[in-house]
Structure 1
Amino acid sequence: MPPRIKFILSKLLLLLCLAAFLIVGESHLIAQPAWAEIRQIEEAPGHFLYQSQHSLRDQAGYSWQVVLFKQVKNASVTGVNLRLVGFPGVMEFSHPKALQIKIETGEIFTAEDEFADQSPAPNVGQYDFKSVLLKLPMNQRTVLLLPIADNRTIALQIPPSIILEWQILAQNSTLN
């Protein structure tokens, strides 16, 4: 085969490989939309639990389970609560202190401690979030100020995408 034909064929093969890579690889280069996952659990006939669960890290790098859940009994919402779970033996909530929620404008909301009398474990806090949730803006930074033992507070940043997911869970009439 003459060198000129080899050169043309190698360039054509390179061009085909590049085109194939762009066609196949393009779908991986485009950001895919993120979808909220709201779980529905039937606890008993007519009693449903809807929840959104995330794992987030605080400023010190400790992991927290953050679960917002709505309870529905016989088509009536009985509560919207936020449960926070820290690593056992590392973090202890200060009960009965309220959870503070701070937004970027400096405004602070409070959510009452649901475990004021007795917590299932020292590393678990649960707060009444029904009246607070719909006041939270989706376009501002939201920080939970967790009341920890020894008069400490831990800041836990909540991304706007999670706030949106929570508001969908709380408002969606099909979840009632």
Structure 2
Amino acid sequence: MCVSLILGSTSPAFATIRQIEESPGQMLYQSRQNLLDDMGNSWQTIAFKRTYPERSATVSLRLISLFSEVDLDHNQPLILTTSLGKTLSAKDISSTISKDKPPLGSVGEYDFNSVLSQLQAEIPVNLTLSTTNGESISLSVPSAVIKEWKKLIID
């Protein structure tokens, strides 16, 4: 039993939704997990919703490679494929991360406003990212993570 507690499992650690007041009336809600890609490399995923005083909101998904040998193609969308075969795409909005500098190759941010509402909490999803060398990177997202992401749009 001690060995299993020490070794743990390879499934992602699930956190609660974090809430941060960025300015009066402007809130940021975040869900963070670490996931592995198809090559075993670790990625931090941050799904977040930002609400503004006038009641508008944006929902985004940021993917950060925790290894440096990746150069994401920011001209390509993020492709989401459910385990039932449904395919969705999310526009790359990485240029909004920093207006002063071009986006890093190891960081991608995607418009999740309409995509997240189309996902079913019980159904796992595969994320496919395009790289500048024409290869793809895949990350499997378990249903528990999808459930947490969907909590962002319930408010």
- TM-score class, shorter-chain normalisation, is 0.7 to 0.9
Aligned residues with identical type, % of pairs: 36
Is 1:68 paired with 2:47?
A: yes
- Structure 2: distance between partners of 1:112 and 1:119: 17
Contact map agreement 1:119 1:125 (CA 8 A) in 2: no
- Structure 2: distance between partners of 1:95 and 1:120: 8
Is 1:139 paired with 2:122?
A: yes
- Structure 2: distance between partners of 1:45 and 1:116: 26
Deviates more, 1:116-125 or 1:61-70: 116-125
TM-score, normalization by structure 2: 0.82
- Structure 2: distance between partners of 1:148 and 1:35: 28
In structure 1, the residue matched to 2:6 is none
What's the offset of the Cα at 1:75? 5.4
Contact map agreement 1:58 1:154 (CA 8 A) in 2: yes
What's the CA shift string for 1:91-116, capped at 9, x where partnerless? 11101110000011211100001025
What's the offset of the Cα at 1:88? 5.0
Contact map agreement 2:93 2:109 (CA 8 A) in 1: yes
What's the offset of the Cα at 1:73? 0.8
In structure 2, the residue matched to 1:114 is 93
What's the offset of the Cα at 1:122? 1.5
The unaligned stretches of length 5 or more in structure 1 are 1-33
Distance 1:119 1:161, change over 3 A: farther
Larger Rg: 1
Supply the AA of the counterpart residue of 1:69: F
Q: How many aligned residue pairs are there?
A: 139
Task: Flag the structure with more relative contact order, 1 or 2, with Cα contacts below 8 A and sequence separation at least 6.
Answer: 2
In structure 1, the residue matched to 2:72 is 93
What's the offset of the Cα at 1:152? 1.1
Bigger helix fraction: 1
DSSP-derived class of the 1:144 partner = strand
In structure 1, the residue matched to 2:23 is 44
TM-score, normalization by structure 1: 0.73
- Structure 2: distance between partners of 1:43 and 1:73: 10
Distance 1:35 1:89, change over 3 A: closer
Q: Which runs of 4+ in 1 moved over 6 A?
A: none
The unaligned stretches of length 5 or more in structure 2 are 1-12
Contact map agreement 2:14 2:145 (CA 8 A) in 1: no
Is 1:79 paired with 2:62?
A: no
- Structure 2: distance between partners of 1:121 and 1:110: 21
